[in-house]
Structure 1
């Protein structure tokens, strides 16, 4: 009797291996040769992006389920089971923990409650933006009504643009439940807030999300006040928008003039930029850079009282010098220095403002209130640190975060005033260990800077021309101008290079470090001098 031998089942490919293989293939892929080929690839890659997002959403929901079950087995209170799953998802995605929580919430809604939207996303018919709109606009509906909207929007998902899709989904949501629109309006009103965003050229944008009637009333009041000032001839050469902006500052701060800033503002300025013609930008902790000349003008022209404090940094990497405290809480100058050092939330990829200065190693576990054990964190990341399974290990040079899944994420502390002379460290040292070794190629950035003497001469000439223009045609006393002859530099550029070579001779790379590269060998000759 002829019997077929049993066939072995085909081996199942490992998902991580396949994902890595696809990534390697795409990284090595050359562009198409024809217009039609390149456009077809763009379409295929866009559909692949959507499929990747759908796969990520499934994995995120599965991870939340697993994390919730694990917390339950570890007898974590029911309300806290899986509470910080979104933070772990964000770290795995290399984004802020808040973005991870938002992604997990969206993924949960799509995977479990909107099957048609999820299918369209997985098939590459819609983008991640459209899927997010479907979730956002049905957030106030119960599960059954959300599923109904998902079914009725099945044919509109692909052809609709983002704006028309949002309008159509919003209309369907209002149709499904007349009270949903009222709930949305009430929820939006409770979320009224004011935000500040740093923009280019030392400027910032203050935006307020308000109920429409209040927003109209506030703007009309500003406009009427500006028109009154302009009609009375008190504009002082300012245009209408500038008068409105100054009136806005004066009314919010309660000051008589928009230039007399009464609030406490910490401005970190390099000594050369403050007292001479240095070009290194100043730094507003938590907000970012301010051009050096703008910072000098702010300090010189501001009508408010100024206090100047010296802060010392290490010359090799621009890091602040530490300090200790005997109290259990981070207060006073120690808290301020930690805020200066970390700038924004210290957790990996989280740029939220610092709300808490807390111990990386808790006091209950023997942690001390020291410079090395302190971290500036947002409220959410600090609360996550206290959740079971989370640990923080800190030094003054960096932070290591370990999640309940056993994965670790590292972040190095950048220089207090950012500049090319102090590039961000590539890694952090082990707590209590030696600092990481420096990359000799990064050391080049300290001396291979453009010659700034021409820029300095132009800045001095511009300053003199401005001062001369202000003195013409007026008898009013002028503010003290910058001295025409600025303090001489301590040494010439050639002397700086020679001094750097002498101090870093022990760091000179060998031929082995250059990996046989003639270009790198020649660069070493230029930087460190001939052998």
Structure 2
């Protein structure tokens, strides 16, 4: 005899099945249809708005041999998206249930120093670890994250449940929000959720770091000074006679070390060299620390780019600078690097807009200044989701020079070698996005766009300083001060 739950599920499956066409999806779209056919758009929309039961029903129907043999790439991509939405929903339910395990614990068990160390919390983590076969460290993180999502970050949990973000990106948001004071969390969550659905995990982490620095009530310099006392080097044993050696260092030191190691490793490539770039980096790193530099390492001239607001460099404001490959660093650190570190290349930004010069539009090969600006503007490879630093990318014309494409900042974007090849050898097609960056259309007909970085406010701290400088003493200005020409590189 069927249980009540089984009957409910069977009824739900039957109801969900009625929402889909009676004929297979692939029969709705002929081979000659364009990738952006309205029928295909409707099917994508159906996946995005389907209920959980509809997603389950659709995925169950996709398991048949007949369905697999007749599907096209766009159909399979829609099913993959359905599976991802379902996984996100399941992750949200796990989050609620883990928080409930904590809530059902003995409320009197608060004999230790705080929530993270309380006996009640430890009991929940231990119970979860045993049930889910997790290490106690992983279970502790899961319980802590679940309490954050069911507490101050409930809109993030809703986004996970709706399938707008996945479990991995949810963890990024929770981790970056963890050190913000409670009063700053609503603004952080509201702003980051506007762009999170369009970003992959590395891009989202970078966006979260910048937003966290913007919203944190304590200055970046003060937090840097406190974190500086925790610097350390850690040895972690691994399998097969190997180990991990990592260092917790000031960002500018860590980036400079990696950039130098990378440049030295690249100098060693070529000829009969059989080692991969990753292996060369490891060998250069070890040889340098042990006092036996690899051949070719001494000839490297690595440069690290630091983008500094001009008045911040002058000491008139404390707006953070941007360290390539990392993100925001304190203004006082940037000033020290500009004065005393020749391996760091400084780029000044316009006081109001952050813009720099428009350069060479008349020749195929961009000038060095224009190449530098394009890499600074985009920070990473412009392919959707790629996080390779722009400094290690090639510069590509979106509209080919042979097709009257111009050599100017609007038509130049950084692409790593892998995605540069993909653009020219496959069906991936870029188009400039009106809001900035590129939109990429895949061979399967999907279009992906990364939201642009937030623009600076109209009146920043730097702009306020400029207004004060330009305003004659004793006269109130009712007009916006004239913007000066952007400073040279």
TM-score under structure 1 length normalisation? 0.37
- Decide which structure has the larger Cα Rg and report it: 1
TM-score under structure 2 length normalisation? 0.40
Higher relative contact order (CA 8 A, sep 6+): 2
